[in-house]
Amino acid sequence: KNQVEQSPQSLIILEGKNCTLQCNYTVSPFSNLRWYKQDTGRGPVSLTIMTFSENTKSNGRYTATLDADTKQSSLHITASQLSDSASYICVVSGYSSASKIIFGSGTRLSIRP
Amino acid sequence: DGGITQSPKYLFRKEGQNVTLSCEQNLNHDAMYWYRQDPGQGLRLIYYSQIVNDFQKGDIAEGYSVSREKKESFPLTVTSAQKNPTAFYLCASSIGRSDEQFFGPGTRLTVL
């Protein structure tokens, strides 16, 4: 069964600290993996996308990694800011129909001053 | 100013009533999607459309209906057959099925 599991479910860190969010997936065959940021009550916004051949991608203070062999990805946030408080969603796409786009349940990150 | 819009932002419905959620995009995207988001769960696909006048059921289509008469518009009707409709509904669009999806701001539906 195609699944995307994210951990931790929630995380609280102090402003300025770093953190890492995890995503494990079983989607096969694999096409790409995206990380989205979703502010409360808003739609998700794409942060990064990685295909099978890529193992790291950065977007400002966000760095995503992908290990296609172990089917794991991480999102590292450096020098966190209050505006980083949001849910971070891992989305894995396989080939074939749109129903093979699997969303993780997200990690809710809270940045405290 | 290109983007994807949803209306209304908040919607209240009495049990037994049908209600239609609007989704419009001016990104010239062929593909459009409707998702449902419940607390603590990942987004679940309701319906998607890859081209005008064609749409496919997603994982949780029961109690919902859609139409795609225009490329820019993909309205979702929540019917009285949907037993637990209270949720946050997100519309998205993409150039093609495999491309990045751009999301609207969402509609929060509450059944009273």
DSSP B2-59: --EEEE-SEEEE-TT--EEEEEEE-S--SEEEEEEE-TTS--EEEEEEEETTEEEE-T
Query: Which residue numbers in chain B have pLDDT < 50?
Result: none
pLDDT at A98: 54
pLDDT at B1: 54
Are the C-beta atoms of residues A30 and A3 closer than 8 Å to each other?
no
The C-alpha atoms of residue A20 and residue A7 are separated, in whole angstroms, by 9
Instruction: State the residue for tokens 């942060």.
Output: A47
**Tens digit of pLDDT for each residue in A56-111?**
999 999 999 999 999 999 999 999 999 999 999 999 988 765 557 889 999 999 99
What are the tokens at A5? 């599991």
Contact B42 A103 (CB under 8 A): yes
Chain A: closest CA distance from residue B39 (Å): 9
In this model, does residue A1 exceed pLDDT 80? no
* B7 CB-near residues (< 8 Å, 6+ apart): B21, B22, B107
pLDDT tier, A52 (very low <50, low <70, confident <90, very high otherwise): confident
Chain B: closest CA distance from residue A30 (Å): 12
Of A43, A99, A102, the CB nearest to B90: A43
Question: Residue A64 CB: number of other CB atoms within 10 A?
Answer: 24
pLDDT at B98: 74
- By residue count, chain B amounts to 112
Report how many Cβ contacts below 8 Å link chain A to chain B: 54
What are the tokens at B68? 């795609």
What are the tokens at A44? 């998700």
- Report CA torsion sign: B11, B38, A77, A80: positive
Rg (CA), chain A: 14
pLDDT at B55: 95
Chain B: closest CA distance from residue A76 (Å): 21
Contact A97 B97 (CB under 8 A): yes
Contact A43 B92 (CB under 8 A): yes
* A67 CB-near residues (< 8 Å, 6+ apart): A55, A73
